[in-house]
Amino acid sequence: MHFNLADLFESIVDVVPERDALVVGPQRRTFAQLEERANRLAHHLAGQGVGPGDHVGLYLYNSAEYIEAMFAAFKLRAVPINVNFRYVAEELQYLFDDADLVALLHQRELSPRVSAVSERVPKLRHFIVVDDGSGTDSSPLGAVPYEEALASASPKRQFAERSPDDLYIIYTGGTTGMPKGVMWRHEDAFFSCLMGANPAGPPPERAEEVAERAKAKPPMAGMSAAPLIHGAAQLGTMIAMFQGWKAVLVPRFEPRLVWEQVANERPLSISVVGDAMARPLAAALADRDPAWDLSSLMVLSSAGAILSQAVKDELKAHLPQLVILDAYGASETGSQGGDAGGVQATGGIRFRMNANTAVLDDELEPIPPGSGRTGRVALRGRIPLGYYGDAQKTARTFVVKDGVRWVLPGDLGRPEADGSVTVFGRGSICINSGGEKIFPEEVENALKSHPAIFDAVVVGVPDARWGERVTAIVQARPGLSPSFDELAAHCRARIAGYKVPREVHFVDQMVRSPSGKPDYPWAKQFVIDRSAKA
């Protein structure tokens, strides 16, 4: 047995088959049921020629079928590929081609989008449609209905030996540029991304220990509010299951639906993606159903985007038992650190990092803690192989210095004397105004601390005098309309004057990625287009 995600899953099935493994809204699977259905799908895919190293796209909403398909691919030594369900035809063609998909599972209602590009992606030869009650016609694709595929295939576990070197690929939902597939070896992903499926203790030394520990633990539950197209949701789901826990998801992100699921399934923890999810969740608590018993929930963590202090305070006011954490990591690093004090006066977020993290200068030398210098946050050890099909980006992001391989995903940081690291955000979205560096997250936090502001995204737009000027897009709370002067004064009391937005554009609804991350390219283009029309 290896530290292979399929091997590890099967070892859990063998020791706790009757435990609940997965709940997605009304869908419920025990470990044994999930195993049988994944086996059937794997055998169906194998019958269509899908094998080791082949890529299988998942163009699906949150569902039990999504997780079944992931493990079916792993069982075949194939690679599941997350596809953003908001993508339209041109974006789909890019991703299908970039990922070299040979098979695709898709929602029935998304069939027309798939049909529009299928003939332009010649490697994509097999389609499976998951029914969603939409009645949309999928016949032009010749798609096999999901349940028919399972019904005609064997439920038995009969697969070739696997390897710790099998691939797990996460297509990034980054803040800039087109997504790329981050390639992880299974073994490295298990330890770096899944924390050895023992987040509160030491990692296992033997693969067999994973099932031994799961059997010894009482059945519990962990929940993610994010979509499975986001790596954080996939990883959170597997972390729960590899502990022998029940993984809880919602079919779609609706705040009341999330809290109802918490009340019904009693998770110990829930993961979200930044204020985009946490703020509406906090707002829903203000009008909570008295029947909701949320006392099981002890931990709320955010991955992929930080939580503003205002949202943390609002959540704590309703659920005082909560421990609220900002987790630090990325698709390229896995779990790298945790919250160590919240928003700092310097505008960054301070994290306690693992021992393989360092902040490197331009010569790739570690910056001494407490020196006050800023550099690039880097990680060594168990890191990805690179980006699928992109040698140039791999070379820029994964570097070697004195025989040590580092990943530099883009964040800037400052190592502190106490061993923590203050992280300022992505250098690629840093605003340069008159030679001063301004990090959007700092300005966004200042804006979102105003009681009338529901959401905010900050970008730099071209300026003849300053190079770039700080510009904010904000979504106000219903019925409120703060003035520019009011917001500027509020920010000026919290951040330096040169960081205060020079323009504020109000929108009825903020545009964010499905993972909850700010869509900075959209925001910048929105401001430029609006300014051109003015």
Lowest mean pLDDT: which of 132-136, 411-415, 479-483?
A: 411-415
CA distance 261 to 268: 12
Residue type, 482: P
At 40-85, the pLDDT tens digits run 999 999 999 999 999 999 999 999 999 999 999 999 999 999 998 8
Q: How far is CA 405 from the centre of its chain?
A: 24
Specify the 3-state DSSP secondary structure of 411: strand
Instruction: Give the pLDDT of residue 175.
Output: 47
Instruction: Give the pLDDT of residue 401.
Output: 94
CA distance 526 to 532: 10
CA distance 402 to 380: 12
Instruction: Give the pLDDT of residue 338.
Output: 81
Instruction: Give the pLDDT of residue 144.
Output: 97
Instruction: Identify whether the C-beta of residue 6 lies closer than 8 Å to the C-beta of residue 206.
Output: no
pTM for the full predicted model: 0.85
Which one-letter DSSP state was computed for residue 120? T
CA distance 384 to 395: 12
Residue type, 105: L
> What's the pLDDT band for 176 if we cut at 50, 70, 90?
very low
Assign a CATH topology to domain 430-533. Answer: GMP Synthetase; Chain A, domain 3 (3.30.300)
CA distance 413 to 480: 36
Cβ-based neighbours of 496, under 8 Å, separated by 6 or more: none
Q: Is the pLDDT of residue 534 over 50?
A: yes
* Helices vs strands, H then E, count in the chain: 16, 28
Lowest mean pLDDT: which of 181-190, 358-367, 378-387, 459-468?
A: 459-468
Instruction: Identify whether the C-beta of residue 389 lies closer than 8 Å to the C-beta of residue 100.
Output: yes
Instruction: Give the pLDDT of residue 430.
Output: 80
Rg (CA), the chain: 23
Q: Where are the domains of the chain?
A: 5-212, 348-427, 430-533
* Higher-scoring residue by pLDDT: 126, 465: 126
Instruction: Give the pLDDT of residue 464.
Output: 79
Which one-letter DSSP state was computed for residue 512? B
Instruction: Give the pLDDT of residue 436.
Output: 75
Q: Is the pLDDT of residue 16 over 60?
A: yes
Q: Cα separations (Å) of 518 from 91, 201, 230, 275? A: 18, 33, 14, 10
Instruction: Identify whether the C-beta of residue 176 lies closer than 8 Å to the C-beta of residue 426.
Output: yes
DSSP H or E stretch at residue 107:
strand 101-107
Q: Cα separations (Å) of 31 from 226, 232, 239, 329? A: 22, 21, 14, 29
Rounded mean pLDDT, 526-533: 85
Instruction: Give the pLDDT of residue 63.
Output: 97
Assign a CATH topology to domain 5-212. Answer: Rossmann fold (3.40.50)
Instruction: Identify whether the C-beta of residue 185 lies closer than 8 Å to the C-beta of residue 385.
Output: yes
Instruction: Give the pLDDT of residue 207.
Output: 96
Beta-bridged to residue 463, according to DSSP, are 467
Instruction: Give the pLDDT of residue 345.
Output: 45
Q: What are phi and psi of 221, to 5 degrees?
A: -145, 145
CA distance 73 to 70: 5
DSSP H stretches of helix in 266-414 = 274-285, 309-318, 391-397
Q: Is the pLDDT of residue 328 over 90?
A: no
Assign a CATH topology to domain 348-427. Answer: Luciferase; domain 3 (2.30.38)
At 78-103, the pLDDT tens digits run 999 999 888 878 889 999 999 999 99
Residue type, 246: K
> What's the pLDDT band for 262 if we cut at 50, 70, 90?
very high
Mean pLDDT of the chain: 91
CA distance 295 to 134: 37
Shortest CA distance to 171 belongs to which of 247, 227, 248, 122?
A: 227
Instruction: Give the pLDDT of residue 340.
Output: 61
